[in-house]
Structure formats: C-alpha cells, structure tokens
Amino acid sequence: MNLLITGGAGFIGSNFARYWVENYPNDKVVVLDALTYAGNLPNLDDVSDKIKFQQADIIDLDKCEEIISQNSIDVIVNFAAESHNSLAILDPARFFRTNVLGTQSLCEAARRVGVDRFHHVSTCEVYGDLDLDSDEMFSETSPYRPRTPYNASKAGADHAVRAYFETFNLPITITNCCNNYGPYQFPEKVIPVFTTKAMNDQPIPLYASTQNKREWLHVLDHCKAIDLVLKNGIVGETYHVGSGREASIIEIADRVLETLGKPESLKTIVPDRPGHDRRYLLDSNKIRTQLGWEPEFKFEDGLKDTVNWYVDNRSWWEPLLDRAPVAEDTAWNRAGK
C-alpha cells in the first residue's frame, strides 16, 4: 500500500508514521507537512530512511494533487491541522484557513486523482462541552455545537469531508478522538507544559477552572484505532476513539509533580481562556464492538512514561520552547479579554 500521512511531522502524525513503518515495513509511506511552528522534522529522524518527506501545505491543491498522483497514493490519513485552542483565540483566521479550506482542498485533490480511502482525524471538541457532573457522553450522532474557533474549524472540516462522500463518493472514514498524550507532543500542550516547567523548577500554569476534565488516550492506542478503521471500517462511517479515563487539570498537575519529585508549590493559577470547555467524554462503544479495538495503555502508567520521556529527551524539547506562540498567563490581555 502507498500511504500519505498529512501533518506527519506533528505529534500524532509522527507517531502514526513511526507506528506504520514498524508494523508495515513493505508499504510506501509519504509524509506531508507544512512545517509550521508545531511541525518538527526531527520528530521523524528515527524513520527518515523509511519514509519520503514532502514539505507542502494542504491548502495547495495543485501540489497535493501532484504528490498524490506521482506517488500513486492509495490511502490518505489527514492529521494536518492547527490544533491549539489558545492560539485560535488570538488568530482564528489561520485555523479556518488550514482546518476548513485546507481539508476541503485535500479532499478535492484526492477526488481528482482517486484514492481507495481518505481518512480524516477529528476531535471530541466539535460537540461542545458537558457539565462536570453530567452522566452524558457524546455519541457519533450527537449534534455539533463547537464553542471556540478551533472547535468550529474542526467541525467545518468534518462537514467538508462528509460532503465529499455524499456528493462525490469520496471513500472517507472519520475518527473523533479524545485528548492524546505521549512522546513528541509539542511543548505547548498541558502535559508537556507542566513537565518541562516543573523540570526547570518554574511555576506550572493551571487554568482557574482546575476541575475541568478531559478524557485521555495514549497516542499509540490512537494509532492502532486508525489502523483498524483503515482495515475494517465502513466507508462513510464515523468512529469515536476514547479511553473512558477522565482526569482533571489538578490531577494531571499532581501526577506530573509526583513523578518528578517536585513540590506542589509550583502550581500557580492563571485566568481561564475564553470559551474554556468544561468536559468532554466520548462513547467509543462502536469501535470497540464493531472493530474490536481496546486501549492498551493504563493512564497512570502511560502518563508516568510520558513524563520520563521528556526527562530523557531534553535535547528534543528545549529548542522548541521559543517557538510556542502563546504565553497562557498573558495571552488574554493581548486578546483584549
């Protein structure tokens, strides 16, 4: 199989590229990435001799069509997206450009050339949020109610992908996944932020709503889920990928500090960002019962392993610190909030 991974120099995309070449060494893997601030080519160093890298933006229709055609691509897995909620508040236009228009352009390139599958990777955040004490979960038929520019841009991407299936018969599948953690996550997201700051004995910033919850899944469990959907998923269908394991921001902070042997006094409260969602939880029964997927990583063990990975790979994340475009403790003053 000839596989194109877009956004493949980012966190989840690079882990998926590594997963694929390790499990399917006879496949041809092409990685496309625009190498914006969060795209990091060193993420792929250990598999650079097993992939073909192409620097391109998914909004560039002609270039994407050329890459798909020249490499005889059979399957596209689209991870390419702007994904940082805080940055989306400061610069929403870039999110709608990449996530909506870019996804549509990539769909059009795939339609023109013809592929066996276009798999789109989405998020739980398109559904809005849940009450902290709610018994509800989001199902594949839940209405979309995005509350932030990032969430709305991902919702728009999902609709574009479905439109290409309904109108043009593009053979698509979609997965909506909960929050991922693991190695190679850019140090702007909560677990790397807490870990890298605590390692340097710097204050770790907790949003004021410290009891807000997220559902957490190890990135390799996510990779395995996508693999199963590509093999056995039904064209046109959406599958939720969730662990069922929720953790609040305060629990994450406490576990990171405990793993590093750092004091609780490093915790500091910063203002909530605008539109800060309270809680997400996915009903992942469909992928479990229909495709036989189950997460393998226990959250407590996976989180500890992830923290230790950052401890052991300071040379990877330190050069990235200056790239982070948002300082959470000052961002909302700059946003006029």
Assess contact for 180 and 297: CB atoms under 8 A: no
Assess contact for 118 and 161: CB atoms under 8 A: yes
Q: Which residues of the chain have pLDDT under 70?
A: 85, 210-211, 272-277, 324-337
CA distance 34 to 58: 8
Q: Using the CB atoms, write b or e for 38-64: b if 16+ within 10 Å.
A: bbbeebbeebeebbebbebbbbbbebb
CA distance 34 to 108: 18
Tell me the residue type at 221. D
Q: What are the phi and psi torsion angles at 158 (to 5°)?
A: -60, -45
The predicted pLDDT at position 334 comes to 38
Task: Classify strands 117-123 and 172-177 as parallel, antiparallel or unpaired.
Answer: parallel
The predicted pLDDT at position 223 comes to 98
User: What residues are paired with 31 via a beta bridge?
Assistant: 5, 53
The predicted pLDDT at position 261 comes to 98
Domains for the chain: give ranges and CATH numbers.
2-181+216-241 (3.40.50.720)
The predicted pLDDT at position 269 comes to 86
Angle between helices 299-312 and 190-199 (to 10 degrees): 50
Contacts of 98 (CB under 8 A, 6+ apart): 57, 58, 59, 80, 81, 82, 153
Assess contact for 332 and 273: CB atoms under 8 A: yes
Model confidence, pTM = 0.93
CA distance 9 to 21: 14
The predicted pLDDT at position 337 comes to 32
Q: What is the pLDDT of residues 98-134, one digit of tens each?
A: 999 999 999 999 999 999 999 999 999 999 888 778 8
Q: What are the phi and psi torsion angles at 188 (to 5°)?
A: -120, -15
Q: Please return the burial class of 337, using the count of CB atoms within 10 Å of its CB with bins 0-12, 13-18 and 19+.
A: exposed
**Strands (E) located in 34-160:** 52-55, 75-78, 117-123
The predicted pLDDT at position 275 comes to 56
